[in-house]
Amino acid sequence: MADATEAIPNSSAADTVIDEEEEENKEILAMKQRVEEMEREANTLRELQAAAEKQENADEASGDGSVAMETEDERALADSRSIFVGSVDYSATPEEIQQHFQSCGVINRVTILCDKFTGHPKGFAYVEFADTEAVDTALAMDNSLFRGRLIKLVPALLLTSMLARSLRQWTRSLTTVASDYPFAKVIIPPTPPALPTPALLKGKGLMEHVRQHILSPEKQKLLATLFSRHSPDRIQPGSVLRVTMNHAPNVFTGVVLSIRRRGPDTSFLLRNVVNRTGVEMQFFPASPHITEIQMIKKEGSGGGKAGRRARRAKLFYLRDSPEKMTNISQGVRGVSA
């Protein structure tokens, strides 16, 4: 009994192995059938392609229904008899374009360029004439009105040459043969910079030249004495000056509120009360319109508090204190009298 019970599981394991082998054989057969079907389909496609090529060769040999391709010479000849028309209305028809140019000569064909994806016109057209003399006549109609728009005319041969030139330049820019390797063994020295002019080698350059040649000796002395930071006779804010000019107002007297020292562009600001109205004027000592600058009262020339330098903040407060400005102006009148 023990031997019989042990034989049963062995027989079931053998049956399982046989079933798995049969399934693998079935899958292999199915794959072979698929491969055979694919080979038959590939052979059929090859036969169809060969038949189509034979038919095309036969049509070309017979010449029935075939259009001969234009050669380069024929294209160049057609371009010499054609014009390019730009800014064409999108709804224009070849018949309307032909009617517009019919007075120039006999027209062989009119071609309107369209987008290959949408089929809509691009707004350009080509007009081919029967002879080249009609091209010169048609170019005279440049900027003429067609369907409410000014059209632009260009010879087709010129346009073709321009496109070919731009294409050649573009292809040359893509090539790497003509360009030198940036890390070549041959040393290419850089171009030396230009040497400075003799005028820039002297002094401090252009501004020094301006100070020496543009300003007169009188103006140079005036800037060196009254408006130099290192001069003992320099003008300080708070001083009272009288400026004489050769145009109106000929004379203006006021208190110096600020001084801007910029070499030949030095300027100072004066303030005074005229007809109960505060008036401020900016003067440039180097200007040829100023004939004289006279110091009536120098700030810091007295003793005690009067000898101190006036603070700039207090001077600008004069704008808000008209009574103080009036007292200063009265003192100026007393000094000048």
The pLDDT score that the predictor gives to residue 304 is 47
SS3 category, 272 = strand
Give pLDDT < 50 ranges for the chain. 1-9, 64-67, 178, 303-307, 335-337
**DSSP-assigned letters across all residues of 177-236:** SSSPPTT-SS--PPPPPPPPPHHHHSTTSHHHHHHHHTS-HHHHHHHHHHS-TT-TT---
Distance CA 313, CA 290 (A): 28
Question: Which residue's structure tokens are 């060196």?
Answer: 224
As given in the structure block, the two tokens for residue 8 are 């049963």
pTM (2 decimals)? 0.36
The pLDDT score that the predictor gives to residue 4 is 45
Cis, bond preceding 249 (omega within 30 deg of 0): yes
The pLDDT score that the predictor gives to residue 7 is 46
Going from the C-alpha of 317 to that of each of 288, 310, 323, the distances in angstroms are 32, 12, 11
Q: What is the DSSP letter of 87?
A: S
Q: State the Cα angle at 256 between 251 and 261, rounded to 5°.
A: 105
